[in-house]
Amino acid sequence: MYRLEEINSLTADANLWNNPEQAQKLMAERTYLEDSVKGCRDLEQGVKDAEDLIELGEAEGDDEIVAEAEASLADLQKQAQKQTLNALLSGEADSNDTYLEIHAGAGGTEAQDWSEMLLRMYMRWAEKHDFKVEYLEASEGEEAGIKSSIIKISGHNAYGWLKTESGVHRLVRISPYDANARRHTSFSSVWVYPVIDDSIKIDINPADCKIDTYRSSGAGGQHVNKTESAVRITHIPTGVVVSCQTQRSQFQNKDVAWSMLRARLYEIELKKKEEKIQSQEDAKADIGWGHQIRSYVLQPYQMVKDLRTEVETSDTKGVLDGDIDLFLEASLAARIKGNEDAP
């Protein structure tokens, strides 16, 4: 409540919009806090209403009313658990927007199609949470799918919610590209890192970087396809590579790429400070067996299972449509508990 009161005071300042970017962030934080306060009050009222219903049902001997109220309490408990997790996202960059990269593993068209399915899954998840999604880079597959893609997801706690998604995702299915209808296993890697603002200083020596320009490979009209406006920056000491091709000019793409590089290097520093978190070298491991964090099995049975938390569901269609909160909540809860137990 104190932070909300502080923000309300700041937004009353006539000079607030002299810095539009900072003003938008402040307004977004106010909306988030107002929603959080409302959510807590709704939970309190919901519990009170359910308790009143149970008392009424017991007094009248109406088991149906009691069962309805108990079901309501169970739903309220799930909502409370999610709000508790949201409140615990207090890491150094948890509240930030996030970049999300997807790269196809070995396997050609199969892996590239799987990468596009993952991209759609995360975009649908973002839409369900009213987050904004922006394409930054995409490399299309020869026949179908994508070789790689980078998107920016904007919204309060976007990085905090998605940070445990970094790793290899494995798909098992009957291939739609196999004339013999054989079962195939495909791998794609996901890498998540926070968007950082100018208040966080990351020093980069230009001499440590290699800058390449190239023609954009995705759809985007004549300008995108005929000029070498896309930019790729390689940070030689760490091997980090970032690229952007969606802006109209090479200058704009370069500016976005530098921001992404700063974010990646910042994420590396964050990783060094956190225990029990997958290291950068693990994230760079081969996209294949032994490194996956989650399996999505469509054949011979329907099952999505997180290999870190053992959480699983048979609702594969729902998961691929963006219903991944059960996995995010479980992995975040496990990480938070691990950090609390760490010496």
Q: pLDDT for 135-168, tens place per residue?
A: 988 888 888 899 999 999 998 889 999 999 999 9
Q: What is the pLDDT of residues 166-180, one digit of tens each?
A: 999 999 998 887 777
Predicted confidence at residue 283, as pLDDT, reads: 46
Other CB atoms within 10 A of residue 19 CB: 11
The DSSP letter of residue 17 is G
Q: Please give the C-alpha separations between residue 235 and each of 101, 162, 210, in angstroms, as whole numbers.
A: 17, 24, 7
Q: What is the pLDDT of residues 106-117, one digit of tens each?
A: 778 899 999 999
Q: What is the mean pLDDT of residues 115-137?
A: 94
Predicted confidence at residue 289, as pLDDT, reads: 53
Q: What is the mean pLDDT of residues 326-339?
A: 81
Predicted confidence at residue 276, as pLDDT, reads: 42
Structure tokens at 255: 């500016």
Q: What is the mean pLDDT of residues 112-123?
A: 96
Predicted confidence at residue 107, as pLDDT, reads: 75
Q: What is the mean pLDDT of residues 264-283?
A: 63
Structure tokens at 299: 């054949």
Q: Is 311 helix (H, G, I), strand (E, B) or coil?
A: coil
- Residues, the chain: 343
Strand residues in 72-182 grouped as ranges (E):
98-104, 132-140, 146-154, 167-174
Higher pLDDT, residue 208 or 35: 208
C-beta separation of 145 from 104 below 8 A: yes
pLDDT averaged over every residue in the chain = 84
Q: Which of 227-236, 270-279, 308-317, 321-330 shows the lowest mean pLDDT across its residues?
A: 270-279
Strands 98-104 and 312-313 come out as: unpaired
Q: Which of 103-107, 196-200, 218-222 shows the lowest mean pLDDT across its residues?
A: 218-222
In order of their start, the domains of the chain are 2-88 (1.20.58.410), 98-341 (3.30.70.1660)
The amino acid at 205: N
Q: Using the predicted structure, report yes or no on whether residue 278 has a pLDDT greater than 80.
A: no
Gap between the terminal Cα atoms of the chain: 32
Q: Using the predicted structure, report yes or no on whether residue 284 has a pLDDT greater than 70.
A: no
Write down the pTM of the prediction: 0.70
Strand partners, 292: 168
For residues 166 and 164, what is the distance between their CA atoms, to the nearest angstrom? 6
Predicted confidence at residue 279, as pLDDT, reads: 47
The 3-state secondary structure of 29-71 reads HHHHHHHHHHHHHHHHHHHHHHHHHHHHHHHHCCHHHHHHHHH
Q: Please give the C-alpha separations between residue 2 and each of 17, 189, 334, in angstroms, as whole numbers.
A: 22, 41, 29
Structure tokens at 87: 């409140």
What is the H or E stretch that residue 192 is in? strand 183-194
The amino acid at 126: A
Structure tokens at 17: 């919009």
Predicted confidence at residue 340, as pLDDT, reads: 54
Structure tokens at 142: 């020869």
Could you give the angle at the alpha carbon of 163 between the alpha carbons of 160 and 168, nearest 5°?
160
Strands 292-297 and 167-174 come out as: parallel
Predicted confidence at residue 217, as pLDDT, reads: 62
Strand partners, 165: none
